[in-house]
Amino acid sequence: MKISLIRHGQSQANVEGVYASIDTPLTSLGQESLKFLAQKPPQGDLYVSPAKRAIQTAEGIFSRPGKIEDRLLEISYGALEGLTFSQSQDSYPQEVKTWLENPFDNGPPQGESIKQLLDRVEDLLHSWIQKDHDVVAVTHEGVIRAFLALAVGKKESYFNFFIENASLSSLRVEGGFTQILQINYK
């Protein structure tokens, strides 16, 4: 089976440099950048994060929203939602320090740790493997990084991946093995 992972186009939160896991719309550049993937969209059951920018991306590429899947949401930034990194440090200095010292086990205040994100993504991956159908997921950088870290079997490699806006990354799951086919195709 093949899993195609699409990161949403550029969003307003990307431009502003703020933490955002839920609702921020695509910019006009973000909308425009989807045209390449729309020329030959990947095939499979379409799942989409409930975030506005992911739904807009799915509609821009596939002309339909797809099935909403909560486990595709970006990592939750909790109390840091809508804040820049600098504002976060000013508002929550100790909490941000604790988070940055060990982001695998600690999340931002009222947010998710990377371990929680990886567990959520791993649960989703196993449910797709059981169905054994090709899948297309429109989602976020953190979620795609989690899929890739799980594919290489080293959860700590989460930080070794950079995922561009409006890009396609693909995995193949066959015979109990997960292989990375491509990263950041655009």
Give the separation between CA 164 and CA 141, rounded to whole angstroms: 8
- 9 is annotated as contributing to ligand binding: yes
- 86 is annotated as contributing to ligand binding: no
- 74 is annotated as contributing to ligand binding: yes
CA-CA-CA-CA torsion for 13, 66, 72, 150, nearest 10 degrees?
-120
80: closest CA among 119, 57, 112, 54?
Answer: 112
Q: Supply φ then ψ for residue 166, to 5 degrees.
A: 55, 40
Q: Is 11 helix (H, G, I), strand (E, B) or coil?
A: strand
Active site residue 81: no
Give the separation between CA 152 and CA 180, rounded to whole angstroms: 8
- 106 is annotated as contributing to ligand binding: no
- 60 is annotated as contributing to ligand binding: no
Give the separation between CA 186 and CA 37, rounded to whole angstroms: 7
Active site residue 74: yes
- 116 is annotated as contributing to ligand binding: no
**Catalytic pick among 16, 32, 69, 74:** 74
- 7 is annotated as contributing to ligand binding: yes
Cite the active site residues: 8, 74
Q: Which residues are annotated as a binding site?
A: 7-14, 53, 74-77
Q: Which residues are annotated as a binding site for substrate?
A: 7-14, 53, 74-77
